[in-house]
Amino acid sequence: MKTAPTRVTRTLASHVRRTGLAAVALATLGLAGCNTRSPETTGSIGDLGGRQMASRPEAPSRQDLDALAERFNANPGDGRAAIAYARALRVNDQAAQASAVLQQAALRNPRDTFILGAYGKSLVEAGRYREAIDVLANAHSPASPDWRILSAQGSASAQLGEQARAQSFYEAALKIRPNEPSLLSNLGLSYALSRNLDQAEQTLRLAADQPGADARVRANLALVLGLKGRFADAETVLRRDMGPEEAAANVASLRKLAAQPNRFKALSGTPQQG
């Protein structure tokens, strides 16, 4: 399944130039977990995971955004209106506002698991990971689990540094959606954050071999190969999706990251919750 994450970098190189490779890894895990077509989901490294380098949806016009706002404000309990409005806000890089809209809808529909799931995923994207975990826990039931929700729970846990818990969520999701590349990619990154680079490479290679895998999965694999000091292999992987100069620039960034004595700390450090 081709996936369309919500907030991804167009190429690993472009993101490296703006923020540095360690930040790429953070962005990846922050978005990892739910690389689906849903506009409220988060992705893996560039969408963690996540998630898969689809084109960004076109931003709505001001007129369209106003119309969606008017529809939502007329009935904040209308789940469809809330999700449509939140989607438009997200595309306009207004993640906090999108989360607030979904919160209102969730408060009015406390048993609607679809709305709860969308709200929980929006909290992950907004960096409110503890809140996201609480909301997502009510977005499905053990008797009827949703792999996308499990993936979002894994993403939130990974951002909090709870890698064992994150891995358990990804593994549970994979039982429902075997060999889903976004899940495998996120799981591989979590292994990397646990300093289990061999398991990370094995999992990411499996992810990259899947029919639905794309450049983001391969970028994650290249990241792990770089952390292992296998820069030639990392460049070979990167050249599948970018030109020689871009691939070389990324490998140079990988070399700098791998040379840092605190590279795992840089890789796993997460922003404070908002």
Do the two domains 59-144 and 168-269 of this chain adopt the same fold?
Answer: yes
Q: Domain 59-144's class? A: mainly alpha
How many alpha carbons fall within 13 Å on the CB side of residue 58?
4
Q: Over the stretch 55-96, which tens digit does the pLDDT of each residue have?
A: 456 788 888 899 999 999 999 999 999 999 999 999 998 989
Higher pLDDT, 34 or 119: 119
Q: Where are the domains of the chain?
A: 59-144, 168-269
Taking the CA atoms of 191, 140, 128 and 118 in sequence, report the sign of the dihedral they define.
positive
Higher per-residue pLDDT: 122 or 21: 122
> What global pTM score does this model have?
0.77
Q: CB of 4 within 8 A of CB of 40? A: no
What does the alpha-carbon distance between residue 103 and residue 116 come to, in Å, rounded to a whole number?
8
Find where tokens 């989360």 sit.
99
Phi, psi (rounded to 5 degrees) for 152? -65, -40
The yes-or-no verdict on residue 31 having pLDDT over 80 is no
Residue 141 bridge partners (DSSP): 144
* Domain boundaries 168-269, corresponding CATH code: 1.25.40.10
